[in-house]
Structure 1
């Protein structure tokens, strides 16, 4: 049997799911010395995992290419320099698995646990006593960016249930991008806002990786029930890091939909590499302070 822990097995499975069928069957032949013939992808994956003695052996296999590990880490929210060599990515993956911070359940299982029609990650968070907007902010960002990134077909994920149902009908999006020149776009209404945000990942093939550490995430609640969530992060396409983003969400509960939170407005600032002047962008910090966010609440 394999010597993989539950976390390692889950991680190896996610990397295998990024591989082509041909590479999977070939890798299965390699690990079993062609002693076992497999019929399909599922059987190949199970065989590879069963015959893998330890995680490092798996990651160092030739068929487990550098780009696959890079992509896996990006999905797990681990941002690595685009020019990282394979041995650095292997080391970081093993650290992630031993730290216990890697997600063990599959995205599809997570999806089944979230009702499809609402941002219901946070339905159980009470705005009354003991309500912590930061906890809601973290839950919301994990849910939102996983959902948005799943629309990027180059990641090979099953696109999740994105759509106007997550927004208030009069939602407003302000999109400010600086890459060379500065561009400001505004969109009004759930349908348009939903389509424009989806185009970032689907048409432009971007991957948005939020920084959910303390300096990358802020959240506060107004007395009127509006919760502001501000988050910074990095933007990637394939293995390249293109720049950073800052995003502010205004969230309001929908009493008609089991009190789930829906998005009332989105302000998104994107800065490309050239607009950053070589600044360090591994884990960007928010530039908004609490008083600026308070103004948005009023």
Structure 2
């Protein structure tokens, strides 16, 4: 690591634009590059890209303040671009960056949400840091994590496949809970990406993920109770998409054991039941419980499609003080067994 020393008699803060005028012997010289700082970063390319995305979520004031902190106020930056470059250059490792006070919990949570990583809304910062570091491990990005090349447990299949809902292993002995977790990660990442306020490109949502005769039952309780039913892949797809695109909702499932149950019938139906919270922007609006019936397509290898969806939504004013953080399923085993065998 080469640190550029300054002449002993020149004790001053150095602009990021003029730092490169001093060579390693302390002799002033002019370089053609207008912006150069010493390379001290130990970040991988993946970590650097992730840190840069988090910095873009930060206010200008916090960004400039963080630049002062990481350089001990030796480097003066003039704008966000210089601050970002300087912070990344002086960051020793990703964990150090994520644990900085200016890298607040909400920034990391928002970053993970944009990357499609589902975390409980009440997650503490150290949990978000750990999950982010896992995401940045080599071969552990979202594309690799959710779409492994050889062990597709949950993905959207090849892009040239006409219908590619979700690929999951359902052979005997499969861990159903893991299967359910991976399905929910795939489904809610896909659905939430339709919310344009998140600032990410919408993924390939559409009727291709459903059976033609799929049925959606939507029960909403917010003061009064309202029941809606939709039949057919096109209508079901559009109604679910409207939750995130038109109503700007974000559905965050609780993938802990209390919030997720998975059953399988001997006839090939896999039932996934999950509870979670509903958000719009930074406000938590209530909770939901959603049950999916999944059946494998005999014409497409490992391809599962959604046969039915039961979605129950409760707004905060209909909950009467019920805890809304990391909600648990209220369906009992008998109710789920009846749905699975019907």
- When the two structures are superposed, what TM-score results if normalisation uses the length of structure 2? 0.69
Q: Secondary structure at the match of 1:282?
A: coil
Determine if the alignment matches structure 1 residue 49 to structure 2 residue 81: no
Query: Once superposed, what is the RMSD of the aligned Cα atoms?
Result: 3.5
User: Aligned in 2, Cα 1:285/1:187: closer, same or farther, shift over 3 Å?
Assistant: same
Determine if the alignment matches structure 1 residue 118 to structure 2 residue 145: no
User: How far is the alpha carbon of 1:164 from its aligned partner?
Assistant: 0.6
Give the Cα–Cα distance (whole angstroms) in 2 for the partners of residues 132 and 263 of structure 1.
19
Q: Which has the higher helix share?
A: 1
User: Aligned in 2, Cα 1:27/1:8: closer, same or farther, shift over 3 Å?
Assistant: farther
Determine if the alignment matches structure 1 residue 134 to structure 2 residue 177: yes
Paired residue for 1:93, among 104, 125, 134? 125
User: How far is the alpha carbon of 1:156 from its aligned partner?
Assistant: 1.2
Give the Cα–Cα distance (whole angstroms) in 2 for the partners of residues 65 and 100 of structure 1.
13
Give the Cα–Cα distance (whole angstroms) in 2 for the partners of residues 289 and 6 of structure 1.
47
Give the Cα–Cα distance (whole angstroms) in 1 for the partners of residues 135 and 66 of structure 2.
25
Deviations 1:180-207 (A, max 9, x none): 1111111111111111111111111111
How many residues align structurally? 281
User: Aligned in 2, Cα 1:18/1:25: closer, same or farther, shift over 3 Å?
Assistant: closer
Which residue of structure 1 lines up, in the alignment, with residue 241 of structure 2?
198
User: How far is the alpha carbon of 1:46 from its aligned partner?
Assistant: 5.8
Which residue of structure 1 lines up, in the alignment, with residue 118 of structure 2?
77
CA contact (8 A) 2:112 2:132 kept: no
Give the Cα–Cα distance (whole angstroms) in 2 for the partners of residues 100 and 277 of structure 1.
35
Which residue of structure 1 lines up, in the alignment, with residue 297 of structure 2?
254
Structure 2 residue ranges without an equivalent (≥5):
1-39, 149-154
CA contact (8 A) 1:24 1:44 kept: no
Deviations 1:13-69 (A, max 9, x none): 44245469x89997898678456999xx7x98665422335656667676x677644
Give the Cα–Cα distance (whole angstroms) in 2 for the partners of residues 293 and 66 of structure 1.
36
User: Aligned in 2, Cα 1:106/1:155: closer, same or farther, shift over 3 Å?
Assistant: farther
Give the Cα–Cα distance (whole angstroms) in 2 for the partners of residues 270 and 13 of structure 1.
36
Structure 1 residue ranges without an equivalent (≥5):
82-88
Give the Cα–Cα distance (whole angstroms) in 1 for the partners of residues 339 and 272 of structure 2.
11
Q: Secondary structure at the match of 1:12?
A: helix
Give the Cα–Cα distance (whole angstroms) in 1 for the partners of residues 332 and 45 of structure 2.
41
- When the two structures are superposed, what TM-score results if normalisation uses the length of structure 1? 0.79
User: How far is the alpha carbon of 1:112 from its aligned partner?
Assistant: 7.0
User: How far is the alpha carbon of 1:73 from its aligned partner?
Assistant: 5.5
- Any residues of structure 2 matched to 1:1-298 within 5 Å, and which? 1-2=40-41, 12-16=51-55, 18=57, 33=75, 48-53=87-92, 68-72=107-111, 74=113, 76-80=117-121, 92-98=124-130, 102-104=134-136, 105-107=140-142, 114=155, 115=157, 116=159, 117-122=163-168, 125-127=169-171, 129-297=172-340, 298=342
Q: Secondary structure at the match of 2:129?
A: helix
